[in-house]
Amino acid sequence: MEKTLNLKLRQSNFELMRIISMFMIVVWHVILNGVGLKVVSDNLALLFDIIRALFVIHVNSFVLITGYFQSTSKFHYKKVLSLVGMSWFYRIVAIIIVLAFSLTTLSNLDIIKNAFVLPLGHEHWFIHYYILLYMISPFLNKFIERTNQMELKRLVLTLVFINCFLPYLTNQGFFNTSFGFSLYHFITLYFIGAYFRRYPIKESYHFKNMSIKQFRLLLIVAFFSCAFVSLSIQYLGKYICSISNGLGTIMYDIGAAMQTHAGSYDYPIVIIQSCAYLLLFSTFSFKNKFINWLSTLMIGVYLIHESELLKPYVYKLFPFFVEKYSPIEIILQIVVVACIIFVCSIIIEFFRKKAMMLIGLLIKKVKKKKV
């Protein structure tokens, strides 16, 4: 009854945002792993770049919404154990599948590395930093509670400058944030999300007189404008690189940096775009039990479809004949494959959760009998 009540109370507009963001992640991973970006035509490459410019906010949105809600919530160690357990469970399952079907050979060292409670490499990097961020959230929250609006705003702007502008202006030379693949970036986004929760932008004097429809339109325009600017800077960087033979290596480095940063999570324009995305969903308010339930499976979707051991074999099931089909047909194939992976991952995570619940009930019954 308590779990059902929680599902009803959670705001479905934000839960829907989680679901859409996770589907964006799956689509982009299908492009990266299923098609690859090295064997495509110019037209298809342009479509991929457009998708990236629109979908690049997927990871940022998850962290922003964590700061938005967790900044006013209590820390629960069981959530950390649950996330670690999920990661470990799917890694063990992947090892069993690989060994059972002889998909590849694994040395004892490989098995030990892959069976580690938390992955040692880049696999599931998001879960690494998400767990660490959650663990330090009580300390971040104490700081947030003790600051006023001006102090929190200054902190956010300072973090954005250090984490977003400095790496871009110095090409990661002065302060390396690994293009957003870092705990620094997650902390920055956490504070931004917390600021939006404590001090709603719509209620500020800049937008107070705007209607909700006008405010939504402004956010939609901001979102797509940021995507267009990022894409334009990326192609301007490509152009600078192509003509840099007569301009020297400095211009080539500038062009290369423009290309690389334009699609990174910590790019200033991507941060603005991610904020517009979060604020757009905050303008809606509705509750839907199915959406709330579905959103609880999204972390499982990420863990399942990002298994380093299984990815090569999963994508072999979905061959993309780039030379045979038009760019639009390839995009449609990608969407279909993403839907299949998304739905299958949801089903797998659903049955895992059911199995864990049954095991938990059995353990409780055994303990009661012993008592």
Question: Has residue 97 got a pLDDT over 60?
Answer: yes
Instruction: Name the residue ranges covered by the structural domains of the chain.
Output: 2-370
As given in the structure block, the two tokens for residue 45 are: 């490459």
Structure tokens at 167: 């790496």
pLDDT tens track for 153-167? 999 999 999 988 888
DSSP labels, 193-224 = HHHHHHS-GGGSTTTTTS-HHHHHHHHHHHHH
Greatest alpha-carbon pair distance for the chain in Å reads 83
Say yes or no to pLDDT of 212 above 80: yes
Predicted TM-score of the model (pTM): 0.90
The yes-or-no verdict on residue 117 having pLDDT over 90 is: no
Predicted local confidence at residue 71, as pLDDT: 93
Q: Taking the CA atoms of the chain, what radius of gyration do you get in angstroms?
A: 22
User: Tell me, what's the pLDDT at 312?
Assistant: 84
Q: Mean per-residue pLDDT for 313-339?
A: 86
Q: What is the mean pLDDT of residues 105-128?
A: 74
For residues 56 and 263, the answer to whether their CB atoms sit within 8 Å is yes
What pLDDT does 265 receive? 93
Name the percent of the chain lying above pLDDT 90. 52
Q: Is the pLDDT of residue 138 over 70?
A: yes
Computed over every residue of the chain, the mean pLDDT equals 87
Mean pLDDT of 250-277: 88
Q: Which residue would you say has higher pLDDT here, 124 or 304?
A: 304
Q: Rounded mean pLDDT of 320-338?
A: 86
Instruction: Specify the pLDDT at position 106.
Output: 80
**Tokens, residue 18:** 């989680």
Three-state secondary structure readout of 4-40: HHHHHHCCHHHHHHHHHHHHHHHHHHHHHHHHCCCCC
Q: How confident is the model at residue 54 (pLDDT cuts 50, 70, 90)?
A: very high
Q: DSSP secondary-structure letter at 172?
A: T
| Contact criterion met (CB below 8 Å) for 127 and 83 | yes
- Poorest-pLDDT segment among 104-118, 160-174, 346-360: 104-118
Note the pLDDT of residue 246. 58
Between residues 348 and 317, the one the model is more confident about: 348
pLDDT at 286 over 50: yes
* pLDDT exceeds cutoff 50 at 8: no
Task: Work out the average pLDDT over 273-298.
Answer: 95
Q: Does position 275 have pLDDT exceeding 70, yes or no?
A: yes
Q: Is the pLDDT of residue 16 over 80?
A: yes
pLDDT band at 371, cuts 50/70/90? low
Termini Cα distance of the chain: 26
Asked if residue 2 has pLDDT above 70, the reply is no
Whether the predicted pLDDT of 5 surpasses 60: no
Q: What is the 3-state secondary structure (H, E, C) of 326-352?
A: CHHHHHHHHHHHHHHHHHHHHHHHHHH
> According to the model, what pLDDT value does residue 141 have?
96
What's the confidence (pLDDT) of residue 335?
Answer: 94
